[in-house]
Structure 1
Amino acid sequence: MTDVRGRPLSGGPVERETGPVQRETGQWLTLTGCRKVLVVVHTEVYGQRLRELLPLLESDLRIQVVFTIAPHAFNEGAARSLRAMGSTVMPWEEAVRTEFDLALAAGSQGVERLRAPLIRLPHGAGHMKLSRVLDSKTADSEEPRTVGGLGRSYLMWDGRVVPKAFALAHRSDLTALKRWCPEALPVAEVVGDADHDRITASLPHRAAYREALGLRPEQKLIMVCSTWGLGSSFNRIDALLPRLVAELPRHEYRIAVLLHPNIHAGHGDWQVKAWLAGFRRRGVAVVPPDADWRSHLIAADWVIGDHGSVTLYATLTRATILLARFPDGDVNPESPGAELAQAAPALSPAHPLPEQLAYAAAEYPAREYARIAARISSEPGRFNELMRKLMYRILGLGRPAHQPAVRPLPLPEPLESEEGLTWSPTAI
């Protein structure tokens, strides 16, 4: 399978010969006349973002939801996540030939082909990363790198703005959008951030998450978080993990690695497990790419991260943050992530880790991190309300007569280190 430019994809959609929307013209459906919503999943991460919208459409018999996988280099994770959900997946080429009443996407590739009013969402927090060099510059152009997701290349096609609505998390995003793609300002709507709201609502359940993970009350959890790419923590994981394993007493500290699903999609699950196998045998747990990382983040005592969204979301929690890597040249200097890099201590290769962890905890600038966390969403607690209002307005339907609740995150599964060995009070 190839994308719209003829490039091979790393994985493909779970295809069916006929989707439910196409069959509606026949005699096989039980509910007919529904508004048709297409959820466009490019990658596993994009799918995780879009999954937060699905409860807002639940129990409404006026709506039929269908899923498709759009072209992307990291399709493999998207297919896995949709299989796990048990979703009906319409082949991409069929989806772009079918009329829908609404489409939802967190990515840009191929969405100009859709026959539906589109709501675009960000796929991360804070619009931290700059666009890739290849996306911003050509041989005959020296245009500056735009902010990822906010430039014309992400929002326009053939001189027109593609989305019907562009959902933003913070009012400050409008200023960035005015600079990088002012044509999209008329369709921009500030709705807040779903992950922000779910994490905040779940903070009172921290003790339950820690118990579910298998932590004893006196044990400290260190989460090593990595985005993908050359500037990520994982790019130097061979220097970080040996130190953590060697210097931290296992009875006192537990170590878990949380990797961006694109690492798994790009290299393959087997390869990632093989690279980390020696550390897993020494007690390091690896969070599965399809796990809900947010409960793990709430349970952490320290987060060692980089310029990924997960590190920024850690400012909402009780965790102390240290930065293992932070490639300034690839980060939007106006983003909350750039501000976090100035506030969070940088991991030192020259000092013992227990001393660094203690120093970071003692110097933890709680007020400063709270200010940074406030830059994630300017509508705290209101994402469900505002996003549902936007979707139903485009669908031309009245909203259901109840307030959409922000539900606490479910309990996580116990983390595994060695094969078959879960963290438990006796697994020391």
Structure 2
Amino acid sequence: MNRAGRWDSAPIERRVLGVVRTLTALDRLLDVLPLLADDMRVETRFTVAAGSEFATNLTEQLHRSGAQVVAWEDVGKDFDLAISPSGNGPLHELEVPVLTLPHGAGHNKLRATETGVAEEVSGLSRTQLVHEGRVVPAVIGLSHENQLPQLRRQCPEAVPRAEVIGDPCYARLRASLPMREQYRSALGVGDRELVVVASTWGPQSAFGECGDLAKLLTAELPPDHRTALVLHPNVWTKYEQLQLETWLRTALRNDLVLVPRIRKWQAALIAADVVVTDHGSLALYAACLGKPLLLAAFGDREVVPGSPVELLGQRAKRLDPTADLLPQLTAATPVPDHQQLAEMSFREELVQHLRELIYRRLELPEPAWPARPEPVDLFTPR
């Protein structure tokens, strides 16, 4: 098969469709694209699957990222594989095989609804995977084999479609650790202690329960500390930059680093000395990397019972925003048995397997060069 047309300058044989519903989905996909690097046989285009409350300006963000964008209604049969970091949306309308990926660091949250959460594992529920009695994804990617029992309970007919593919984001974070000083230099941290405050979205998040935390930290910590704030892309989409900078005005004047909405949080996490967070995916990444960690909030009602994130919540120390902050940060330690937590959360050695899977679905021989996780991008605050 040859996908190259009259006006193409590349020998395109296959075309991949990246399906996004939110900025988070785009962030996840950009960790997968390096697996297709240097192969001019494969072209990637993107489309927006409608239906998310957090899809505002998503098409514009894709254009700003330099992506080729196809309207959903124009997708047709011009693609050989669709990759979606979510089981949500009208994926059943696509006329090509779909590979779904975990939306975050594994499958640790219950499925969000208009009124709260359902008693279903987000990404593994029948509601998301089945349409009119048909399992929609051709392949359901799991970051660890211990997610198979959850899938079997939630949607047993989907189990034959499951593949353990690891977590490309975690693999890239691990590959970046030897370059930590370069990330700190780019951030302008110098010899200062870097405190990264990270929040997921929703009322039970760190930002939702303690929105003044960045203000408190930048006011109370001595000059040999610097604070960076990472907000979930859904928070950015909901409120946008002007509103967030208005709410954070005093903290920003006190030298807060407000990390951009996508692709820069990874660099901040690698550079961090201490992480203050909640029950979001970044918390699990930070814990598994062995970062000293404190919880400023924790949405127990949103977390899957028995999941690695629930275990993190049981083990991690809590931050008390009403008490002196510096002694608490100084005393922060990695989550106990964090290596065990990593082993039960991610199969990091499977980057090669994910590339094999993609090329197998594309019916193309893999490139001769090995698949290796790339270090994450450096970040220099403006």
Q: Provide the TM-score with structure 2 as the length reference.
A: 0.93
Query: Retained in 2: the 8 A contact 1:126–1:375?
Result: no
Q: 1:320 aligns with which of 275, 278, 292?
A: 292
1:359-398 correspondence to structure 2 within 5 Å: 359-361=331-333, 364-365=334-335, 368-377=337-346, 379-383=347-351, 385-398=352-365
> How many angstroms does 1:28 deviate by?
2.9
Query: Retained in 1: the 8 A contact 2:176–2:376?
Result: yes
Tell me: CA distance 1:408–1:33, structure 2 relative to 1, closer, same or farther (3 Å): closer
Query: Which residue identity is paired with 2:134?
Result: R
Q: 2:42 aligns with which of 63, 84, 103?
A: 63
Q: Relative to structure 2, which stretch is displaced further, 207-216 or 64-73? A: 64-73
Q: 2:91 aligns with which of 106, 111, 115?
A: 111
SS in 2 for 1:37: strand
Alignment gaps of 5+ in structure 1: 1-20, 138-143, 417-428
> How many angstroms does 1:237 deviate by?
3.3
Larger Rg: 1
1:19-34 correspondence to structure 2 within 5 Å: 24=5, 27-31=6-10, 34=13
Task: Tell me the equivalent position of 1:301.
Answer: 273
Q: 1:126 aligns with which of 99, 106, 109?
A: 106
> How many angstroms does 1:358 deviate by?
2.4
Query: Which residue identity is paired with 1:406?
Result: P
Distance of 1:365 and 1:332 partners within structure 2 = 19
Task: Tell me the equivalent position of 2:25.
Answer: 46
SS in 1 for 2:304: coil
- Per-residue deviation, residues 342-371 of structure 1 (Å, max 9, x unmatched): 11101124431112122323xx455x1121
Q: Provide the TM-score with structure 1 as the length reference.
A: 0.84
> How many angstroms does 1:333 deviate by?
1.5
Distance of 2:115 and 2:83 partners within structure 1 = 23
Tell me: CA distance 1:240–1:112, structure 2 relative to 1, closer, same or farther (3 Å): same
SS in 2 for 1:65: strand
Query: Retained in 2: the 8 A contact 1:297–1:317?
Result: no
Does residue 1:248 correspond to 2:227, yes or no? no
> How many angstroms does 1:317 deviate by?
3.0
Aligned-pair identity (%): 38
Query: Which residue identity is paired with 1:382?
Result: L
Q: Relative to structure 2, which stretch is displaced further, 49-58 or 156-165? A: 49-58
Does residue 1:150 correspond to 2:124, yes or no? yes
Task: Tell me the equivalent position of 1:163.
Answer: 137
1:255-270 correspondence to structure 2 within 5 Å: 255-270=227-242
Alignment gaps of 5+ in structure 2: none
Distance of 1:401 and 1:32 partners within structure 2 = 17
Structure 1 ranges of 4+ moved more than 6 A: none
Query: Which residue identity is paired with 1:244?
Result: L
Task: Tell me the equivalent position of 1:210.
Answer: 184
Does residue 1:230 correspond to 2:209, yes or no? no
Aligned residue-pair number: 378
Which structure's residues are more often strand, by fraction? Answer: 2
